[in-house]
Amino acid sequence: MAQEYQQRPRRGDDADEHAEQQQTVQARPSDEAFDSLLDEIDDVLESNAEEFVRSFVQKGGQ
Amino acid sequence: MSVAAGGIETEYGIAMLGDDPSNPLHPMYLSHHVLQAWLDAHAAGRTGWDFSSEAPLSDARGHRVARTEAHPDQLTDIETGLVNTILPNGARLYVDHAHPEYSGPEVTTARDAVAWDVAGDTIVAEAGRLAAGRLGHPVRLYKNNTDGKGQAYGCHENYLLLRDVPFHRVVVQFTGFLVTRQIVTGAGRVGIGQGSEVPGFQIGQRADFFEREVGLETTMLRPIINTRDEPHADPKMYRRLHVITGDANRSEVATWLKFGTAALVLRAISAGMVPRDRVEEFTLPNPVAAMHRVSHDTTCTVPLTMTDGANRTAVDVQEAWLEVCRAYLDRCSDDLTEAQRAESVEICERWQQVLDGLRTDPFTLGDQLDWVAKLALLESYRARDDLGWEAAKLALIDLQYADVDPARSLYQRLVERGRMQRIVGDDAIGHARENPPHDTRAWFRGRVMAKFGPQVRAASWDAMIVATADGALKRIELSEPLRGTRALTGDLLDGCDTVEELLTALSGGEPG
């Protein structure tokens, strides 16, 4: 029956997740091999990042 | 056997560059052109799709949604005239909503799930290159799940469960597993919130799009447990659990663990391995909020309040499930095939190793998990170029990590530098492009397509309709996913040179 699946009363105090402070692992200093990797990636990245990202708009899917 | 088979289906992000903004090509037709280009190049005909056993409005909770009350997105059983076909490897290739989709064939191990999943990526990548030549514009295809502007599309897993396992038990117990597994299966995402309203990085591509605990929808108000009751098999015996929370992974380790751990947990749940008096240790009173919290915490240390009142991290909850699965393997491994048993032991070992890594330092897993690999790359860029999370370049790196074309894919750059561990080799992927898995009905489906493709008028997961020389249409039922294997039908198919011989052989007579 559908009722079985109705939401139970909430416990816990999960605040609005957008507002809560985000925790992020400490940024790592990159090693030398990584530096040359970044140079290689620079060469294959689409040009004009701003425009490319802005125009990537999808219709919704599942 | 408690979980018989399963498979992975992926909707790819798609874009054509340099399109005429005053008259843009609709992504549905772009998707069609991309897939049709591949079919034409491979001389693969277009079979129809047999919708007669589709039931997108049938709810596992025991009711149906009336068609007039359903959202148009839910009516997935309508013939559209767009590409919708079966490949010789047993997969389905089609246009789903406004995306190209590859639904891998039924497999019985996680390693096979990886091989046939990555095979799909290579097919779609090739399709994009072929279509670009035809359309006169570059085409991009991404194995990701969001445009970062409020739209999401899916990478779903399917697990065939026995009908006699109470669905309510699966809903209650599996939800907490799905919420916490993101720390292993997340593909990483730049931007917090459905429309990336808050600059930052989160573990999951999909997490922010889940708004309900349980439901029938897949394109809006997405539920953590999807109740679509469409088993594509004998409904008295089976149900198909349609898992829609997963991210599309590039990392083979992530896909392997995603499929392998979920299948194992579902086996343990089916076998009743969680004692009734301990269920509340595994459940969350507010799973939707927890889904978002887990995704937004890249330290993997945020405490979640469980139903029993205790605080546990996602790593703790995953480790508790790992213990349940180990107990299941100790007691119930007779349920499994030899290959599944051996793989399950490997899955548990790797799962433990990954959880240990997440506990001590997530960055040690940069060669195994997509979200860590992506975050390490992004952090290096941030350090080198002094970029804030709102920088467009970081969003581009997020996107281009998932480009399926090896020439542009940043994931592929990591693979080529030996920075990503693999699970299957290129040979296995090449095999999976051309051949169906041998141990499910996908074998029969794929081999019939390879041998008699032009005479297959329509097909679906559980049936094929073939045309005989005199124009009659004959339906071949494939309602049992574990029949139609190479062992059961290999000799029979080898001995038939025509569809008529095949039909005769299947009805018990001698072919020829």
Q: Report how many Cβ contacts below 8 Å link chain A to chain B.
A: 169
SS3 B4: strand
| Statement: residue B65 has pLDDT above 70 | no
- pLDDT, one tens digit per residue, over B30-64 is 999 999 999 999 976 556 677 666 777 677 766 66
CA distance B408 to chain A (A): 6
Per-residue pLDDT band at B67 (split at 50, 70, 90) = low
pLDDT in the model for residue B277: 95
| Statement: residue B107 has pLDDT above 70 | yes
| Statement: residue B12 has pLDDT above 80 | yes
- pLDDT, one tens digit per residue, over B444-481 is 999 999 999 999 999 999 999 999 999 999 999 999 99
A59 with B299: Cβ contact below 8 A: no
Measured in degrees and rounded to the nearest 5, phi and psi for residue A45 equal -65, 140
Average pLDDT over chain B, rounded to an integer: 93
| Statement: residue A9 has pLDDT above 50 | no
- pLDDT, one tens digit per residue, over B417-431 is 999 999 999 999 999
pLDDT in the model for residue B213: 95
Q: Taking residues B334-338, what's their average pLDDT?
A: 90
Distance between CA atoms of residues B400 and B394, nearest Å = 10
| Statement: residue B200 has pLDDT above 60 | yes
Strand order in the sheet with B473-477: B48-49, B456-460, B463-467, B473-477
Percent of chain B at pLDDT exceeding 90? 85
| Statement: residue B385 has pLDDT above 70 | yes
SS3 B165: coil
What is the architecture of the domain spanning B6-373+399-431?
A: 2-Layer Sandwich (3.30)
SS3 B393: helix
Residues of A with CB under 8 A from a CB of B: 1-2, 4-5, 7-8, 10-14, 17-18, 20, 22-25, 27-30, 33-35, 37-38, 40-41, 44-46, 49-50, 52-62
Contact B204, B182 (CB under 8 A): yes
| Helices and strands: H and E segment counts in chain A | 2, 0
The two tokens of residue B221 are 């108000």
Q: Taking residues B359-385, what's their average pLDDT?
A: 97
Which of B145, B210, B372, B380 would you mutate first to test chain A, the one with the most A CBs within 10 A? B380
Distance between CA atoms of residues B324 and B274, nearest Å = 7
- pLDDT, one tens digit per residue, over B204-226 is 999 999 999 999 888 888 999 99
Q: Taking residues B133-139, what's their average pLDDT?
A: 96
| Statement: residue B484 has pLDDT above 80 | yes
pLDDT in the model for residue B69: 64
DSSP state of B507: T
| Statement: residue A7 has pLDDT above 60 | no
Per-residue pLDDT band at B72 (split at 50, 70, 90) = low
Rg (CA), chain A: 22
Nearest C-alpha neighbor of B407 from the set B125, B146, B119, B38: B125
Per-residue pLDDT band at B308 (split at 50, 70, 90) = very high
Per-residue pLDDT band at B360 (split at 50, 70, 90) = very high
SS3 B454: helix
pLDDT in the model for residue B511: 44
Distance between CA atoms of residues B47 and B94, nearest Å = 11
Contact A17, B286 (CB under 8 A): no
A59 CB neighbours in chain B (<8 A) are: 27-28, 97-99, 151
Closest CB from B214, B376, B391 relative to A28: B376
A61 with B97: Cβ contact below 8 A: yes
Cα–Cα distance list, B275 to B181, B280, B293, B326, B359 (Å): 21, 10, 27, 15, 27
Q: Taking residues B374-378, what's their average pLDDT?
A: 97
Token look-up 């997740």 returns: A17
Per-residue pLDDT band at B79 (split at 50, 70, 90) = low
A17 with B293: Cβ contact below 8 A: yes
What stretch(es) of chain B map to CATH 3.30.590? 6-373+399-431
pLDDT in the model for residue B219: 85
Report the range of poorest mean pLDDT among B92-106, B220-234, B402-416: B220-234
| Statement: residue A29 has pLDDT above 90 | no
- pLDDT, one tens digit per residue, over B285-305 is 999 999 999 999 999 999 999
Nearest C-alpha neighbor of B449 from the set B39, B142, B4: B39
Distance between CA atoms of residues B31 and B44, nearest Å = 17
Closest CB from B299, B301, B393 relative to A49: B393
| Statement: residue B268 has pLDDT above 70 | yes
Contact B401, B410 (CB under 8 A): yes
| Statement: residue B181 has pLDDT above 50 | yes
Distance between CA atoms of residues B86 and B74, nearest Å = 22
The two tokens of residue B102 are 């590859």
Positive or negative: CA dihedral B20, B26, B29, B31:
positive
| Statement: residue B2 has pLDDT above 60 | no
Contact A57, B147 (CB under 8 A): yes
Q: Taking residues A30-57, what's their average pLDDT?
A: 90
Per-residue pLDDT band at B270 (split at 50, 70, 90) = very high
CA distance A13 to chain B (A): 9
